Amino acid sequence: MRSRQRMFAAVMRLLLKCLRLGRRRRFKLVQQVEQLWHYGHLCLRSLLYNSFTNGDVVLDSLFEPIYWLVDHVTRWFGVVFVALVIGLTSSIVAIVYICLLPLILQTYTPAWICWHLAYGHWNLIMIVFHYYMAITTSPGHPPQAKDNLTGVSICRKCIAPKPARTHHCSICNRCVLKMDHHCPWLNNCVGHYNHRYFFSFCLFMTMGCIYCSISGWEMFRDAYAAIERMKLLEKERLQVAANQTYYQTPPPTFSFHQRAFHKSVVYLWVLCSSVALALGALTLWHAALITRGETSIERHINKKERQRLQKKGKVFRNPYSYGSWDNWKVFLGVDVPRHWLTRVLLPSPHLPHGTGLSWDLPPCVTKQHAPLLAI
């Protein structure tokens, strides 16, 4: 009996030792896992630590694959967008010359004929000139060497000097002087040397579309009514053909020329009106930016800087703004009054003020404005 009790006690002691060892091992395993977790977390933070990291930086990092896809798609489809602009514009010009111009010469008075011919051809020349210059003119790139460059930083993507107002274009994979944005409809960046061509093209294209929409409104109404009448007559013709007797005559049909004429007029008015609304809004947006002396990229930067300084009780001043009127003179390159005719109302390939590397006071500006920061 006693031997059984001793055996039972020995088994119980062995079982308790096993449980204690299991607990100790599990405890050590948990400790090791926690140590590895803290060590890995510390290594990750040490590798990715950045004092400027915030929610925007993290969000940009998460969306980096989407940005990469959009950049490559935009790069490869740029030629398609340029061909689309040329094709649509050419179709409108062809409709005007083939369909509308003979009607204008037959029905309008000589004064209105002269007005339409003069304004229409001037507007067309300005559109073609500025679009050609916008897609063929380089926006400007900073030199690779840092010689004779003051106040520059280093681009973290192309590891090259980056002067003030210069930004890296992920689509062109280069830094662009005074970069505004990359325009897929130009297949080119909008920067220091072609910003004026881009805005002038948008302005004159909007003016041309508004001109076509207003001038062709009455023709559009007549053409639309004629198309609806053609549909009704076609339905009647089919009904008569189905129930035709020996004394019934089918209704008259429209010729191919009449159908093409009416549909071309409707196509012209709808396309011009749509482009006038969309491109007009974009033109007004860029006009507001030019009035404030900033680009599309600088607007976001200046907005954040304005909010940051406002919390400190300071006022932000844009160092590249010389006042609304002077900003337009600097942008358009107007130094003397005659330049409003020769450089704005007529095609002009003149260069902008400065080189885009430094931003000295332009000669057309009458006085120096406030510095960057004012308390």
% of the chain residues with pLDDT over 70: 75
Rounded CA-CA distance 354/362 in Å is 8
Give SS3 for 373.
strand
Whether the per-residue pLDDT at 183 is higher than 50: the answer is: yes
Rounded CA-CA distance 95/92 in Å is 5
Q: With bands split at pLDDT 50, 70 and 90, how would you rate the model's confidence at 140?
A: very high
Of 86-95, 157-166, 169-178, 211-220, give the lowest mean pLDDT range: 157-166
Rounded CA-CA distance 333/329 in Å is 6
Position 283: which residue type? T
Q: What is the mean pLDDT of residues 154-168?
A: 85
Q: With bands split at pLDDT 50, 70 and 90, how would you rate the model's confidence at 251?
A: low
Element (H, E) at 3: helix 2-48
CB 291 within 8 A of CB 328: yes
Give SS3 for 158.
coil
Whether the per-residue pLDDT at 375 is higher than 50: the answer is: no
Q: What is the mean pLDDT of residues 92-96?
A: 95
Check the CA dihedral 100-106-108-109 and report its sign.
positive
Q: What is the mean pLDDT of residues 103-119?
A: 91
**In the 8-state DSSP scheme, what is residue 351?**
P
Q: Which of 31-35, 190-194, 352-356 has the largest mean confidence?
A: 190-194
Whether the per-residue pLDDT at 326 is higher than 50: the answer is: yes
Give SS3 for 374.
strand
Whether the per-residue pLDDT at 248 is higher than 60: the answer is: no
Q: What is the mean pLDDT of residues 343-364?
A: 89
Report, as residue numbers or ranges, the catalytic residues: 183
The residues near 212 (Cβ < 8 Å, ≥ 6 apart) are: 92, 96, 268, 269, 272
Q: What is the mean pLDDT of residues 171-199?
A: 93
Alpha carbon separation from 12 to 1, 9, 15, 171, 189 (Å, rounded)? 17, 5, 5, 75, 83
Token output for 103: 């009607």
Whether the per-residue pLDDT at 53 is higher than 70: the answer is: no
Q: What is the mean pLDDT of residues 5-16?
A: 66
Give the burial class of 375: count Cβ atoms within 10 A of its Cβ; 0-12 exposed, 13-18 middle, 19 or more buried. exposed
- The reported pLDDT for the residue numbered 245 is 52
- The reported pLDDT for the residue numbered 200 is 97
- The reported pLDDT for the residue numbered 246 is 45
Token output for 167: 């930004």
CB 139 within 8 A of CB 190: yes
Token output for 354: 């400065």
Predicted structure pTM score = 0.77
Q: With bands split at pLDDT 50, 70 and 90, how would you rate the model's confidence at 120?
A: very high
Of 43-57, 84-98, 197-211, 295-309, give the lowest mean pLDDT range: 43-57
- The reported pLDDT for the residue numbered 171 is 86
Q: With bands split at pLDDT 50, 70 and 90, how would you rate the model's confidence at 51?
A: low
- The reported pLDDT for the residue numbered 372 is 42
Rounded CA-CA distance 304/54 in Å is 13
Q: With bands split at pLDDT 50, 70 and 90, how would you rate the model's confidence at 3?
A: low
Rounded CA-CA distance 303/285 in Å is 16
- The reported pLDDT for the residue numbered 234 is 73
Residue 258 backbone dihedrals phi, psi, to 5 degrees:
-65, -40
- The reported pLDDT for the residue numbered 338 is 94
Token output for 300: 């976001």
Token output for 109: 């008075």
Residue the block writes with tokens 């740029």: 78
The count of C-alpha atoms lying within 13 angstroms of the C-alpha of 177, restricted to the half-sphere facing its C-beta, is 20
CB 265 within 8 A of CB 219: yes
Q: With bands split at pLDDT 50, 70 and 90, how would you rate the model's confidence at 70?
A: low
CB 240 within 8 A of CB 250: yes
Rounded CA-CA distance 368/323 in Å is 10
